[in-house]
Amino acid sequence: MLSGFSTDTFSHEGVSIFYRMRGGGPPLLLIHGHPQTHVIWHKVADQLSEHFTVVLADLRGCGDSSRPVSDEHHTPYSKRVMAKDLIKLMASLDFQEFQVLAHDRGARVAHRLAADHPDAVKRMMLLDIAPTLSMYEGTNETFARAYWHWFFLIRPKPLPELLIKADPDAYLIGIMAVRSEGMKHFSDEALAEYRRCIRIKGTAESICEDYRASATIDLAHDRTDRDAGKKLTMPVEILWGEFGAVGQCFDVLAEWQKVASDVQGEALPAGHYIPEEVPGALVERALRFFK
């Protein structure tokens, strides 16, 4: 997987971010979601690197990036701080402006990245999310049953951490299998990598702190933007899974139109894991949007 991509680590403020890079065109940052790593892009990265300089980063707390200790306000795992990791990474590569393709938790980081650094993000494609604030404020029984982990992971420590560490494989498969068509779309190599990374010391704590931040400090940041009437101004494309909970529970485009002024998008014939379920369709739309 991802042969031909260089590997390196960028460090700032005591945190190391692992990344891979390949290509020679305009910069395109790819950001993964939960419970995965940058490897989620392995079915699309080669084709995208023929047109762009593709940067695949592991978010803090994931993959081979650092897992910093959190605080009582979950600040180290706020999407604002996680976005700062990536803006600094791209600047270190001499990319002051770039485009973003992001999935799941990574798309939440991308949302904050675009909100806090609008001059850096030229275009942004987000996969299978509605805005975090919309999803929490619009929670109903159907959504809560499908996204049970949102409410499990934000429970006070150490209970969620202990349960994840007791059987990391059971947690990983329990999240992924029910949001796709079982496990058939995930290659053995990719799954082995996800299994390796969820066992790295500190991962369970980082997972929980990421979600606790989303339910607290991240919502405060989002509400501040809403109260100020602040909207994203760059072109945004939203793609979601036709068979996933996000499209079934929310009017995805309508929710994004509340926070962005230039939005388009559609459902794809997939569940949640679009890059691994329908990579061809994703590449087609990414090339159309980013080029």
Active site residues per annotation: 104, 272
Give backbone dihedrals phi and psi of 10, rounded to 5 degrees, phi first: -110, 135
Q: Within a 10 A sphere around the Cβ of 6, how many other Cβ atoms?
A: 8
**Helix (H, G, I), strand (E, B), or coil: what is residue 21?**
strand
CA distances from 226 to 73, 126, 246, 287 (A): 21, 19, 21, 31
Which residue type sits at 158? P
Strand-pair category, 15-22 with 53-57? antiparallel
Instruction: Please check whether residue 83 is in contact with residue 112, taking contact to mean a CB–CB distance below 8 angstroms.
Output: yes
What's the token pair of residue 142? 């159907």
Cα separation, 261 vs 124, in Å, equals 13
- 34: nearest Cα among 127, 136, 105: 105
Q: Within a 10 A sphere around the Cβ of 88, how many other Cβ atoms?
A: 15
- As a whole number of angstroms, the longest Cα–Cα distance in the chain is 47
CA 242 remoteness from chain centre:
19
